[in-house]
Structure formats: structure tokens, C-alpha cells
Amino acid sequence: MTAPRIFIDADACPVKDEVYRVAERYGLKVFVVSNGWINTRRDAFIEQVVVDAGPDVADDWIAERAGKGDVVITSDVPLADRCLKSGAQALKSNGQAFSPDSIGSALAGRMVGEHLRSMGLQTSGPPPFSNADRSRFLQSLDAAVVRARKALAG
């Protein structure tokens, strides 16, 4: 059985340390993917990947590699959509899981927000990250890893 892998869309991810804890507990490989160098732990199970600057370069690197049994940590809706289509799971840093049932409305909401911003309207960003979000993320990631291990075993 191949072990699940975790991919972090790392440029603005507030839960890298939580990912490392879960990955270490389960013995999983973590790819920390960013457009620039990020100070990461120096452990054998963590691989830092610095891609070229440019729109969607990190997203492309992750989407080309993530597949069945993998877990992707991202708030980027189009990346989550690509990963779901390849059989990976996708989680936001607040613990919310993207799913085939929810990704369509998430993509539509993103397009509406982009349209409003292009018209000069200010839209609110995400709410401040809280300890409850961190706790929910840990629970969601643990559950996603369990599902990923079952998917690879069966």
C-alpha cells in the first residue's frame, strides 16, 4: 500500500505546524509548495518545493502530482477543484473540506467576488483565523488522512 501524501499550498497557509504534527504521527510525506523560500522544519518527511514565480505555478505543481489518496491543503478554489477531479481530497485551513458537491458553488462564489471587485466594489476577505478554526482543521485533517488510507488500502 502506498501511503497518502499531503500537499500544502504554502504561501498563505496558517496551519503548516498542524500539518507537520499529523503527518509525523501517521508517517506521511509532506510537500510544502510555494513561490518563494519559506522557513520550514528540517525533517526527512517534509520536502520544501520552491517553484518559479508566476500565476498558478505552485497550483500547477500540486495539481499535476496530487491524486487518489492524497490530501491538499489550500484555500484556492480552482486548485481544490483540480485536485478533487484527480481523486485527492482538499481542505481549507479552517478545516472546511471541499467536496464534489460543494465545489461548484465555491467556484461560482469566487467568480461573483471577482466580478464585484472588477467593478470597483470592495468585498470582505475571510474572517480572522481563530483557535476554533485551528482545532477544526486538526480534526478535519485527521479524518481526511484516515479516509485517504482506506482509499489506498481498498
CA distance 69 to 104: 22
Classify residue 55: in a domain, yes or no.
yes
Q: Look-up: residue for cell 471541499?
A: 98
pLDDT of residue 99: 86
Q: Look-up: residue for cell 482506506?
A: 150
Classify residue 96: in a domain, yes or no.
yes
Classify residue 117: in a domain, yes or no.
no
pLDDT of residue 101: 74
Summarize pLDDT for 49-90 with one digit per residue, the tens. 999 988 889 999 999 999 999 999 998 889 999 999 999 999
Classify residue 23: in a domain, yes or no.
yes
Number of structural domains (the chain) is: 1
For residue 28, give its domain range: 5-100+128-153
CA distance 15 to 128: 14
Summarize pLDDT for 86-140 with one digit per residue, the tens. 999 999 999 999 987 776 565 556 555 565 567 776 766 667 889 999 999 999 9
Classify residue 58: in a domain, yes or no.
yes
Single pTM value for the model: 0.85
List the CATH number of the domain containing 68: 3.40.50.720
Classify residue 52: in a domain, yes or no.
yes
Classify residue 109: in a domain, yes or no.
no
- Measured on CA atoms in the order 110, 112, 113, 115, is the torsion positive or negative? positive
Classify residue 113: in a domain, yes or no.
no
**pLDDT tops 60 at residue 42:** yes
Average pLDDT across the chain, whole number: 88
